[in-house]
Every structure is written in C-alpha cells, then in structure tokens.
Structure 1
Amino acid sequence: MANFVLVAGARLGGWAWDEVVPYLRAAGHGAHPLTLSGLADKQGVPAGQQTHVQDIVDEVEGQDLRDVVLVGHSYSGIPVGQAAERIGDRLTHVVFVDSSVPADGEAFVSAWPDGGAMVKAAIAENGGFWPLVPASHYDGHGLTDEQIVRIMKDSTPHPGATLTEPAVLTRPLHSLPATYIQCMLAGAELDDDVAELLTSKHWRLVQMSTGHWPMFSQPRELAQILLHTVEE
C-alpha cells in the first residue's frame, strides 16, 4: 500500500482533492489531502515558504507514513520538491501536477517574466496575501461553471511570504523518482528547468488533455496516473 500525500496549489486546501481521494482509496492505498498553513481551515496561521515544507514533512512523519508518494500541484510543487528530499527512505515517488519546481535559493515568483514584481505588488496591497482571482481566470481549462463556482467559493487568499521566500535544496532534484504531469490546455511550454529535469532517467513526462486544475476537470484520469506511479 502506498500513501499519497496530496498538496494543491495556491489559494486551495485539502478539499481540492475530494474527487480524487475515493479512487486512490478504492485501489487500496492511503490518501492524505493536506491543507497548508494559512489556507482554508488553517487561515490565520502565519506561514512562510519553510512553514509549508514543514507542513508536508510533519504530515508524513507525524502519521509515520511509509511508501509515500508526494503530489504537488501548481505552486505546491515548490514545497513538495523540498519536502521530498527531507523524508528520506519514506519516499517512493514525487508527482508534480502542472507545477513549479524548486531551485535552491529561488522563490516561486523568481521564474515570472517580471521577476514577480506584479505578484509582490498585489501582496503588498492586500495585507500580505496574494488575493483571489476572478472567474475568468479559470476559463479555457476544461472546467464546468459549477466547478468554477466551487473553486471560487472555497479558495482563500494565499500567504504572500510563501511565494517570495527562497527554496532550500541540499541536492539536485534530478535524482528524485518523479513524474511531471503537463496539462495541455494550460497552453504553456514546459519551463526550461522542468525540461532539463525530464532528461534524467529518474523522471518521466505524462500529458493530460485538460487544463491547470485536473483534480476538478479530470479526477478519475488524474487518479489513474497517480496509481500508475506505484503499479510499475
């Protein structure tokens, strides 16, 4: 039995995995959707980048999980990639779902074309949080109107420091056993750092014909990809 620790992207909580979890558990595996500090039911908890890394490590070690598959979506690839190297032999695989990947000394916003200036300005103007986005942000990603309404209803502003503080890595990510899921409707080419990591024999690429939020738009298909990482 594997234990999937599921971490959704910015503004989301463990609730984002509600439609994926049943497929994983029906296959006999553990599924542990995790809400990071400062989000959803953990609003009000101060959080920086390393807080989110520790949230993931604490989930694994606190529940004494073994055969762990860490799953990071979007922003959460940054803390998941760092936590992966800190849980040692508990780790079986890492899955990056259309996500950022950490680089030592670099922040989530570092890869943005403007160096994160717009994000930093939005955070400064909103009391230290990255604000919510309008419904139009989710257009073109294979989501129904009902799914968009749900995402917007349950999302919460994201703690800004987690986006601007640097990642800390002690070894290169290319040695991790990893799968990168590229969501094709998202429309972007793979980042250079992801493309380079995919040249490693330990990494593989899977493409999904959906948008950036596959846990809503294609939960069964996403679960099948996750299950495949432990069935090989």
Structure 2
Amino acid sequence: VAIRLWNGKFPSHLEALDAAKLLWGAENFDCYGSEKRHYSAGSQDHCGLMYPGVNKLCYKGGCHWPHKIVNMSDPNDSKQAAIFKWLESVLYIVDIPFVSRPKGYNSQKINHLKDAKVPEAQKVKLVKALGDASEEAWKGICEMDADKLGGALSNTMKAWKAMLPYTVDPYTNGDAEKSKKLLDFWKKYDYPNTKGCLFSGAGGGFLMVVSDKPVEGGIKITINTDHFCKPFKSGEIDSM
C-alpha cells in the first residue's frame, strides 16, 4: 500500500503522524470504504513504520487510533542509545516455517468483548490484563529488564487468547492437527525456554522472542532511528 501511495519513495514531505494516518486509512479502505472486510488493520503497524526508534502507543475510549505516542528515537541521548543497544541484544525474530493462518482467516470470529453473554465486569478484566501487559512491556524496555519484557510478551499472548481466541489459535474449533502444530511451535520459544515470546500479529506471522541467550532460528534486530518523514524531537506526541 505504501509503495502505491508514495510511488516507492519515503514520504519525507509529510509529518510522521500525517503519513501514518494516510497509510492506515488507505489500507483500511476495504473495511470502512467498500465494507468488503469485517475488521480493520491495527494502527500499530502504520505508526511503527512512520515513527522511528521505539514507540509506546497509548489508546483510550475504544478508539482504533492512539491518542498519544511516546517516542524514543534519539541515538545521541545516552539513555536512549543504551536502551536501543540492549533491546537489539535480547530481541529476536523467528519465522514460523509454515502457513499459520488458514484461508479466509478472521481474528474476530470469536470476540468476547462483543459477546452480550459475557458480563461487563469480565470484559473490563480482559481489557485490563492486556493493558497491564503492555505497561509491563514498556517498563521492561525502559528498565532494560529482559525478564520483565519477556514476561509481558507472554502475558500479552495470554490476554489475546482470553479476549480473541482466534488471534492465538487460528484453528480454534477446527483442524486440531494444525492447531497443535502451531501451539507446539510457539511453546518451544516461550518461557521457560526463553524469557517470553509473542506473535507479530493475529494468527502468527512470526515470533518476537526475548532471550539473553542465542535463539534457534532467531534473527537479531536493528532499531531504525532514521526519520523517513519530517524530523521531530523524541518524547510525548499528541497523535489525535
């Protein structure tokens, strides 16, 4: 979508926020425009592409777009530089070596937040578990604590499963063999074998694994601090 939107070039003429919104809107036309798709793509990917460094996206009020972004992208700041170096040393990407998402996959097939039979108090509990895991992940990054970050990723996976079962097991109530294959694969990279792990997105994709030891099949990451859009100072950003 980005290639078509900007003809294969970086949108250096735009603010990062504007570029992220345009990209998100373009990708979600099939949901909100033509209504061919029943769910929207999450805004995390679009913000992550346009905002350099490490970002905390803050959501409220059931909105699909974050109201605030906390950005760390200054390699000349000694604290941020130390965080980047540490995160690059403990975070691995592991490709899932088989197709994890079945044809016609819909992560929202079961959504306990929209289920009228689920008590409101239980829904609040489900959302809080995910929010708490997110806050813990950010603390783990800021404190350079691999145990805290890894545990938060694993707890995010648990929160997803409790809220939207198909995000963690795309074969729920379906192909038991494929369900077990995916479960066995990510459990291999979860605690206690590592510090913890999380799918890159609903239904798999690849695994993000936190470990202070080399990970089998793991690819080390490099944090990009270059600005693809108009440069800005890192810190808190009003993103509405």
- TM-score normalised over the length of structure 2: 0.28
Please identify the structure whose Cα radius of gyration is greater: 2
